[in-house]
Structure 1
Amino acid sequence: MDIRRIRYFVAFCETLNFSEAARQLGLSQPALSKAIRKLEDEIGGPLIRREGLKTHLTHLGRLMHEQLQKVDAITLQAELAAKRLVNGDMPQIQIAVMCTIGPSRFCAFLQQWRKKHPEVEIVLRNADRDKIGDMLLSGYVDCALVGAPLSNEPRFKYTELFKEDMVVAFSPEHRFSRLNTVDLEQIMQEPYLDRLNCEFRDTFMTESAQVGHEIQFAARSEREDWIQTLARGGLGVTILPIGSVIVEGLETRPIGAAALRRTVSLAAPFGREDTVHLRSLLSALRRFDWKSKA
């Protein structure tokens, strides 16, 4: 449907008077009548019943008025948002965040940066590692926070932000709560909650096979919150980065001799600093004291 005709019809419904609606819209009365007739043709039925000097909506007209009001309102919002963005009134930065990265260490940074740039809207896009490269190269996002290199793609520039330990997570009642550290072999003997997007998943599976352990999977999921909630509830144990713990009451312990760690990095295509605000954000991310926020 033509958006202008929808808008004309909605305006007419406010007065049910062609002359007044035409005046408010800055149209001639014949032009308004013609636009509404074309809308009726698009919809396939009469919207307005004309009876002498009186005009009112048909049953179809009342139904369509209710629906087209919503379309008109959403369209106006979209037009306003587009104008603000084009005019620089609402600058926006899109950041892909690898789904295994927790929010806790980034809160202080975002609070600090937003105080200096309150006009900028930050949009955080949750993404799997396999999809982030395409999101960056297509321009869908401006930069990304990743827990592992995306690929051998030479067009990406990586800046290390911080390292964090991998830990084993379990319920407060689990036997691991009595230990100071837990070895990989001990973890392999427990029902395991499989984080399907875990960067160390393949390493863990390989080491288990090498020592002859067949892992008993209690559940698998791409959802970090589900896996952690199941672990807290006692369904099994899981390995995850310490900074990714988001479920209250979940117990964790360091993993013994393995000393598994991951590096969280900022990834952006070379040359991807085409706005003042994006340059400021990337520079601030690279200069921020991440160690003090551990």
Structure 2
Amino acid sequence: MEMHQVRYFLAVARTRNFTRAAEECNVSQPSLTRAIQKLEGELGGPLFRREHSLSHLTDLGRIMLPHLEQTYAAAQAAKSLAEGVRKGSLAPLSIGVTASFAADHLVDLLERLNLSLDGLELTLATAAHAHLVRDMMHGDFDVAILEEAADLPERLRSWQLFRERYQVLCRTDHPFAQLNAIEPALLSGEIWIDRSGCLSSPRFHQLCALADVKPVFRHRAGSEAHLQRMVLAGLGCALSPENVPVEDGLTLRPVHDLDLSRTVLVATVIGRRVSAASDAFLKAARARAWPVTEQQG
């Protein structure tokens, strides 16, 4: 199926006349007719029924009309987008963000980027760490904000944005909320909500095993929003980065002698072309005043 066939079909469906459709498409009527006949052969049946000077859609034609309208509109949008990119009037940017990253950190950054970059066309998505790295390497994202990890691909070029501790997230009516800091032994027996695909979860399990601390790992959440709502619903406690804004009714508390923190990076892929939009975002991200974690003591 070729796009000019779809365009001719839509013109006939709109004008109900092959001659007027040919004039509208600036082609000869025989050429238009042949193109539609070829389309009918590909779709397996007649699309129009001729009655005197008018042509009406057949049942197959009526079924195909919305699909072909959508196909043609998508093709025109893609063409317009490509033209905008070629002329420099559009600046597409795709950013992937690790699921536990606080979206509040991005608001002022994206606002500044939007004001400084004409034609910004932004795609923003979140994913678990492994999926984010995979999709980044496959070219789905121009830039990624993710956690530092030992298994990051060598082709990723990264810059540190900030470092932060993980703390216990609990309800404000939980006994932990009354403490300035939690002794690790108090975590034993607590119902726990894990983060699916988060690097902190296996590290927390290891630290608990080394300290002979035994939380009851029962639930799992795939995003920060789901995690907070599950804690708010009374399903248990969880770990959350200290700089993540929390819902009303929740609070964060540090744990004594629990060395669980993360380094947040912004990254691109070495050897891949860095667009003007990507370059502007990288510069803005590296220049931003990110949270500073105070030393425990």
TM-score normalized with structure 2 length: 0.88
- 1:244 corresponds in structure 2 to 244
Does structure 1 retain, via aligned residues, the 8 Å contact 2:243–2:291? no
> Structure 2: how far apart are the matches of 1:110 and 1:292?
21
- SS in structure 1 opposite 2:193? strand
Aligned runs of 1:217-256 on 2, under 5 Å? 217-245=217-245, 247-256=247-256
Residues 210 and 290 of structure 1: CA distance in aligned 2, closer, same or farther (over 3 Å)? closer
The alpha-carbon deviation at position 9 of structure 1 amounts to 0.7
Gaps of 5+ in 2: none
Identical aligned residues as a percent: 29
| Farther-moved stretch of structure 1 (166-175 vs 229-238) | 166-175
- Residue aligned with 1:167, SS: strand
Q: What is the RMSD of the two structures over their aligned residues, measured on CA atoms? A: 2.5
Q: For residue 64 of structure 2, what is the aligned residue in structure 1?
A: 64
1:203: how far off? 2.5
For 1:96-145, what per-residue CA distance to the aligned partner results, in whole angstroms no more than 9, with x for missing partners? 21122111122222222322124222322322222333434443322221
Please state if 1:37 is matched with 2:37: yes
Report the counterpart of residue 25 of structure 2 in structure 1. 25
SS at match of 1:244: coil
How far did 1:13 drift?
A: 1.1
Q: Contact 2:182–2:255 (CA<8 Å) still a contact in 1?
A: yes
Deviation of residue 256 (structure 1)? 2.5
Bigger mean CA offset, 130-139 vs 41-50: 130-139
* Equivalent pair of 1:133/1:150 in contact (CA under 8 Å): no
Q: Specify the SS of the correspondent of 2:258.
A: coil
Contact persistence 1:100–1:147 (CA under 8 A): no
Counting matched residue pairs gives: 294
Q: Does 1:109 align with 2:109?
A: yes
Note the C-alpha offset of 1:61.
2.2
Structure 2 CA distance for partners of 1:281 and 1:48, relative to 1, 3 Å: same
Aligned to 2:197: 197
Offset at residue 271 of structure 1 (A):
5.4
Gaps of 5+ in 1: none
Between 1:26-35 and 1:268-277, the stretch displaced more is: 268-277
Q: Deviations over 1:14-44 (max 9, x none)?
A: 1111111100101101111111111221222
Poorly superposed stretches of 4+, deviation over 6 Å = none
Counterpart-to-counterpart distance in 2, 1:60 and 1:93:
40
Distance 1:156 1:62 in 2: 50
